[in-house]
Each structure stands twice: as C-alpha cells, then as structure tokens.
Amino acid sequence: MRKILITGGMGQVGSYLVDKFHSHSQVTVLDNLSSRSKYVLPEGVDLVKDDIRSSVAQDLVSDHDIVIHTAAQISVKKSMEDPLFDADNNVFGTLNLLEGARKGDLEKFIYFSSAAVYGNPEYLAVDEKHPVNPMSPYGASKLCGEKYCTMYHDAYGLPTVCIRPFNIYSPRQDPSNPYSGVITKFMERVSQDLPPIIFGDGMQTRDFVSVHDIVNMVLLLSEDRDYNGEVFNVGTGVKTSVIELADMIMDLFDLDMDIEFRDPMQGDIRDSYSDISKAKKVGYRPQIELKRGLKEISDTMFTAE
C-alpha cells in the first residue's frame, strides 16, 4: 500500500484529497491547523500537527512514496501586507519539503501552484506558455515554489509535477478567499433575501473549477510517470462572468432581485480562463458543470435556509 503525505490536508482541497486517497492508500496529513477547519479525518488517517518548515516535515516527506503539497499561505491581502511572512511559508516551506524529498525515494511530488502566477492575462485562453507576471507576493511565491520544483527535477532527478488551479470552489471553501469565496458570499446574501454585491460592472470573467475535478487531476498525475518536471493548468476552459454567476445563484434560490454594484476593486484582473489542452493529454476532463457544483454548495451549506 502506497504511503501518501498530504500537506494542508485539513484545508479545502487537501481534505477532498484525503477523502479520495485514504481508502486505497496509507494517508498521513501534515497540517498546522491554522485554517481552523471543522473537517474530521476519516478513520485510519494519521494527523501530524506541525509546520511545513520544520525538521519533522522533512522526515515525513522522506518516509513517503507520494507527497501532495497543498499547504500554503493563500491570502493575497496578507501577502501584500507581509511579503516576508508569505515567502517564509510558501517559498521556504516548499524548499524544506523538497529537501526532505531528496533524502527519500519518492514516486511523485505534486505541488499546488496557482493561476495567480500569470497576473493580468495578455491573451485568452491562458495556456502554460503564457508569460508569468504575478501581481502580488502570493503569486510570486507560488511561482518561486514552481521554479524550485522544476529545478529539483532537473538537477536532482526528483519526480516533481506542478499544477496551476484556476478558481477552485467547493462546499468547504473559505468565504474569505477572494477567488472562489465570491460564490459563498453571493449565496450567503441571497439566502437572506439580500442582493449579491458586485464590484465593478460584473463583466469580468473567471474559470470556476470544482474541487472534484482538481482531485481527479491529482489522481491522474499520481499514477503517471511520463510528465515529471511539467506544469499543468487545471480549470474548465469555460469563462463565466461574475454577473452570470450572480444570476445562476439567484435562480438556484428561486429569487429575482436587482444586483448591487459597487466601485471595482483595485488591481482586479478583468478576464481569466484556462486553456486545458495540456491537461487533457494526461486524461483530464472536467466533469462538474458550474450549475451542478453550485447546487452541491447550496445543498450542503444552506439546507436550513
């Protein structure tokens, strides 16, 4: 039975990965519990409460077959306020795990980067060859982690692979996340008969991808040895405007009201959606349409409304 280490396994994406892998693998979660997650680990999954920058983390990595590295400082706002804190977690934390990987005999090191590495798109759809120009310390630190992963593959032969998720959503998402959190924020307001609030004209577009599709891509990469050293977009390839999203959510709650518009947020990216041609070569096919994914969130989080 393969031994799999999932960093940040109590978080939104990590917890779904735990659910997916634990039935056929020996799963250990490394998490400092900073997210205050209410997720309950399945029976048989070990939890190590520690930090990815610790010597304990290094030892854990060297003792596992597969490492799925989702743990990170994910707040763009926090990264703008404290770039050193962001880099300490996202750069040095990742580097610490890679050093642990050098001491073991890993089958795969899967690194979660972010579409934030692209910055403001120069063309659409965004493919992996698109210039990288992060607009925040968070985007810069995730890109730096990528570069270390690919360098460790080239220099040391480590079987690393990086994924760049676009706007992940799930019933376990954090409403404070400015990327996917808009879904929960819209639902919270609509469930209280309050109109969604949109910053700007609502025509800005995003690529909302279900956590279930992200998990399926990780599963594919964990079983494939042909794409080590590569970087993959993971999205749907479908653009959805924020105003379309608001209308979908109001339809879901069977409400019709005027949307409240406010001044656009400074630095907000106008349009972003992915080209997933490269991921399709691995066998990736997004399965969850946005309306279906939104219904899962409403059924899970707002059943009492």
What does the pLDDT read at residue 168?
93
What does the pLDDT read at residue 95?
98
- Please report, for the chain, the start and end positions of each structural domain, with discontinuous segments joined by +: 3-167+209-234, 171-207+238-273+289-298
Taking 70 as the pLDDT cut, the residues of the chain under it are 174-180, 267, 303-305
For 171-207+238-273+289-298, which CATH superfamily applies?
Answer: UDP-galactose 4-epimerase, domain 1 (3.90.25.10)
What does the pLDDT read at residue 174?
67
The dihedral sign for the CA sequence 108, 30, 179, 39:
positive
Tokens encoding 53? 């920058």
- Beta-carbon contacts of residue 188 (< 8 Å; ≥ 6 apart): 175
111 belongs to the catalytic site: no
Helices (H), 124-222: 137-156, 181-191, 211-222
- ∠ CA 10-5-229, nearest 5°, is 115
Residue 125 CA to residue 82 CA, distance in Å, equals 31
Residue 275 CA to residue 279 CA, distance in Å, equals 9
What does the pLDDT read at residue 305?
41
Active-site pick, 39, 138, 179, 273: 138
- Beta-carbon contacts of residue 89 (< 8 Å; ≥ 6 apart): 52, 53, 72, 73, 141
Q: Can you name the CATH fold of 3-167+209-234?
A: Rossmann fold (3.40.50)
| Global confidence as pTM | 0.95
Contact of 45 with 17, CB cutoff 8 Å: no
